[in-house]
Amino acid sequence: MDNIKLKKIAVCTGGGDAPGLNAVIRAVVLSCIRRGIECYGIRDGFNGILSPESYPQGGVVLLGHPNVKGITQLGGTILGTTNRGNPLHYPIQKADGTIVETDRSGEILQFFKQNEIAALISIGGDGSLLIAHELAQKGLKIIGIPKTIDNDLEQTVVTFGFDTAVSFATECLDRLHSTAESHHRIMVVEVMGRYAGWIALNSGIAGVADAVLIPEIPYQLEKVVEKISSLEKRGRTYAVIVVAEGAKPVDGEVTVLAKEIGRKERLGGVGEKVAKELSQMTGQETRVVVLGHLLRGGKPTCFDRLIALRFGAAAVRALEEGYSDVMVALESPAVKYVPLVSAIRRMKSVPLTCDTILTGRDLGVCFGD
Ligand code: F6P
């Protein structure tokens, strides 16, 4: 592909935040400055373009050295983000209170044309990458950068944010072991991850959990009770159980916390259910800890920072090399570009035969099956 000369590009972050977003933004901005390209940041997904009145200081701002100084190690995103506001299905409230979805993608394309911004780097999860692909199909030059703590995106070995989330969850499990042991309790720890069990699995194995319940293996609590009894026989008077928010019982459903128009259903509450049932089944005192959004905060680990910086710089190189409608991805040890269409509308679940599951089984971890 021929190198092209770019003058202006834009960058935005969409969906739930993940540690490493700021590192990507810094890499994008510095890679642009080095090439003489102006880089504009769009606030809160596409809202900076679609609702400029909400941003007195500008919904789209030129980013320079001062904006990205010292942000590599910061959690969150300096641009803000949203998991509402899909420009292709933009929720608009009518006078009678009902909400209708409108396609406002034309306004995005118009904005880029009018301001002579040649391309967009869109950092986001499955939802944002689908939007990116659809905008690319409508003619916008676009590079996607995969992000999610859930690690559930296809075509990339890993997404940044995941390592930070797993490291924090593991540290929490380490802390919970001692209090569970002191009080002879069953400690149930619910972690995020949506419909994939990556965070629960990796933190559960590293954090020496006795049972790990993930969406990919519907559970029977009788199996967990058997595990707890076998521990008791060896003199263990406590247990630590990790439950993914998307875990569900055999013949049961995921636990949904809320359903709202214009966004995905929110999961949560399965930890509470599991704890209650385990307490009834074993007669043992049980406590629940929901790690929730704590997993999304804090500074990115070294691994996540590096992936994020590499993805950001690679996205600018991809644009320069003339690519569009592709996603930057990790194929260890290299960073590559894959067609966006191959990464969207599918989910990377934990394969049941993956060696982390096999390792867990060899270590005696119960998966509820
Ligand atoms: O996709 C990231 C994630 O943190 C999921 O693990 C979780 O289900 C969801 O986002 C929570 O989203 P919200 O920010 O809307 O609470």
The predicted-structure confidence for 21-76, as pLDDT tens digits, reads as follows: 999 999 999 999 999 999 999 999 999 999 999 999 999 999 999 999 999 999 99
Ligand 1 atom having least distance to the Cα of 295: 4
Residues in a beta bridge with 333: none
Do 89 and 120 belong together in one domain?
Answer: yes
Across residues 212-229, what is the average pLDDT?
Answer: 98
Query: What does each C-alpha distance from 54 to 94, 113, 122 come to in angstroms?
Result: 19, 22, 21
Question: Nearest 5 degrees, angle CA 198-CA 203-CA 207?
Answer: 160
Whether residue 357 is found in the same domain as residue 210:
yes
Q: In this structure, is residue 346 part of a structural domain?
A: no
Would you name the residues annotated as active-site residues?
150
**How many residues are given for the chain?**
369
Of the candidates 118, 60, 50, 122, the residue with the CA atom closest to the CA atom of residue 87:
50
Residue-wise pLDDT for 224-234, tens only, equals: 999 999 999 99
In angstroms, what CA-CA distances link 135 with 91, 103, 282? 18, 11, 54
How far is the C-alpha of 328 from the C-alpha of 132, rounded, in Å? 13
**Residue 270, φ and ψ in degrees, nearest 5:** -70, -30
In this predicted structure, what is the pLDDT of residue 264?
A: 81
Regarding whether 144 and 24 lie in a shared domain, the answer is yes
Structural domain contains residue 339: no
Whether 140 and 169 map to the same domain: the answer is no
- Over residues 80-138, the pLDDT tens digits come to 999 888 999 998 888 888 888 899 999 999 999 999 999 999 999 999 999 999 999 99
Whether residue 121 is found in the same domain as residue 236: no
Domain-located, residue 56: yes
Same domain, 137 and 170: no
If asked whether residues 156 and 138 sit together in one domain, one would say yes
Among protein residues, the one with the nearest Cα to ligand 1's atom 13 is 16
Instruction: Kindly report the CATH number assigned to the domain that includes residue 103.
Output: 3.40.50.450
Residue 122 and residue 269 share a domain: no
**What's the structural domain count of the chain?**
2
Same domain, yes or no: 18 and 95? yes
Assigned domain for 154 exists: yes
Answer whether residue 322 is part of any domain.
yes
CA 232 to centroid of ligand 1, rounded, Å:
36
pLDDT at position 104, please? 96
Report the 10 Å Cβ neighbour count for 292.
14
Residue 337 lies in a domain: no
pTM, to two decimals: 0.96
Type of residue numbered 324: S
Mean per-residue pLDDT for 199-214?
98
Interval 289-311: pLDDT, tens? 999 999 999 999 999 999 999 99
CATH of the domain at 187: 3.40.50.460
Residue 3 is assigned to a structural domain of this protein: no
Closest C-alpha to ligand 1, atom 14: 16
- Do 312 and 201 belong together in one domain? no
Q: What is the DSSP letter of 59?
A: S
Same domain, 202 and 106: no
Strand partners, 335: 330
Print the domain residue range for 189: 163-297+351-362
Tell me, yes or no, whether 232 and 127 share the same domain: no
CA-proximal residue: ligand 1, atom 16 (nearest): 266
Query: Does some domain include residue 319?
Result: yes
The set of protein residues with a Cβ atom below 6 angstroms from ligand 1 is: 16, 83, 125, 148-150, 192-194, 245, 266-267, 296
> 140 pLDDT band (50/70/90 cuts)?
very high
Predicted local distance difference test score (pLDDT) of residue 32: 98
What average pLDDT does the structure give for the chain?
Answer: 96
For a pocket test of ligand 1, which of 83, 162, 164, 294 has the largest count of ligand atoms closer than 8 A to its C-beta?
83
Q: How confident is the model at residue 262 (pLDDT cuts 50, 70, 90)?
A: low
Ligand 1 pocket test, candidate residues 21, 150, 347, most atoms within 8 A of CB: 150
pLDDT computed for residue 97 by the predictor: 86
Considering Cα of 246, then 84, then 122, then 327, what sign does the dihedral take?
positive
- The model's pLDDT over 272-282, given as tens digits with 9 standing for 90+, comes to 999 999 999 99
Confidence label for 259 from pLDDT (cuts 50, 70 and 90): confident
Pick the more confident residue, 99 or 255: 255
